[in-house]
Amino acid sequence: MRSYLLRRLPSALLVLALASFLIFAILRLVPGDPASTLAGPDASSATVAAIRAQLGLNEPLFSQYAHWIADLLRGDLGPSYAIGGDTADLIRDGLGATVELTVGALLFVILLGAAFGVLGATSRSRWVKAAVRVATTGALAVPPFVTGVLLVLVFAVILGVLPPGGRVSVLIAPDLGAQYLLLPSLCLALPGAAVLGRYLKDGIERTLAEDYIRTATAAGVAPRRLLWRHALPNALPPVVTVLGMQIGHLLGGAVLVEAIFAWPGLGQLAEQGLTRRDYPVVQDLLLLLVTVFVLVQLLTDAVYAWLDPRIRWE
């Protein structure tokens, strides 16, 4: 297992290096100048030039990129241009809220995806199968900002059983925090749960069609035992890969969901950084998300190899 992961480490480092370069380059292509934004619309060109020199924006782009990477390797994220304060502190303050939202959404993805997959593959009722198909199609087709508005309208406005937005940490007040977490995490999880459910359904159906399953059925083995002891474990490896990819989608989708539900996480920080052309905040934040995604993929590969030893042997 260790050698299997070590073989994947160089590609992961290469992805991070390319991602850092692309993040740096794309931000510089976005229209606008941080110095002009900080100086204000009535500032003179001399004032703007002085701010650019103070921020190091007058240096060659390669030099700016090299300084950024060197500071990152030392653990120094630098100060924020426009928001104020240290970039590391800003990210740390929003990270807890985003992690809480992502973990809540991941639980919904696993639970709903498992329900969609098992019911869609094993139910003998065509109405249940049709309901699962409609639910997964709707979860994929309706964009999160529409789903979020509908959830707020139904559960917060009409029924009045859940708060429409904001956050209370589940670590401080578990009961109240869960109420605030429920709607945004459900909104974030629905597309991923639909994708996971479809992959699980297809995997279970393929496994149940295998000859050894038919032989076991003819021998009188209980269908429930076949499902939980044979069909489901054999359908899990590709589903684990999809689940790992969905974690990356959850982190990316959290930006929009946090804006809908006024959730004070990294999404709001990214929006403020982009609006104010705050390069250090946006660069470090995007690279952090890429790093988390790469680590999740490595963990996914490890779980895949553990579930299917043939992967390690190859």
CATH of the domain at 183: 1.10.3720.10
pLDDT in tens, 213-251: 777 777 777 777 777 777 777 777 777 778 877 887 887
pLDDT in tens, 24-75: 888 888 777 777 777 776 777 787 778 777 777 778 888 888 888 888 888 8
- Whether residue 43 lies inside any domain: the answer is no
- Whether residue 241 lies inside any domain: the answer is yes
Can you give the pLDDT at residue 108? Answer: 94
Residue 111 confidence (pLDDT) above 90: yes
Give the chain's domain count. Answer: 1
- Written in H, E and C, the secondary structure of 119-165 is HHHHCCCHHHHHHHHHHHHHHHHCCHHHHHHHHHHHHHHHCCCCCCC
- Whether residue 109 lies inside any domain: the answer is yes
- Whether residue 297 lies inside any domain: the answer is no
Task: Kindly report the pTM of this predicted structure.
Answer: 0.79
- Whether residue 41 lies inside any domain: the answer is no
- Whether residue 96 lies inside any domain: the answer is yes
Can you give the pLDDT at residue 49? Answer: 79
Structure tokens at 144: 């999160």
- Whether residue 280 lies inside any domain: the answer is yes
Q: How many CA atoms lie within 13 A of 173 on its CB side?
A: 8
- Whether residue 81 lies inside any domain: the answer is no
Show the domain range for 105: 90-286
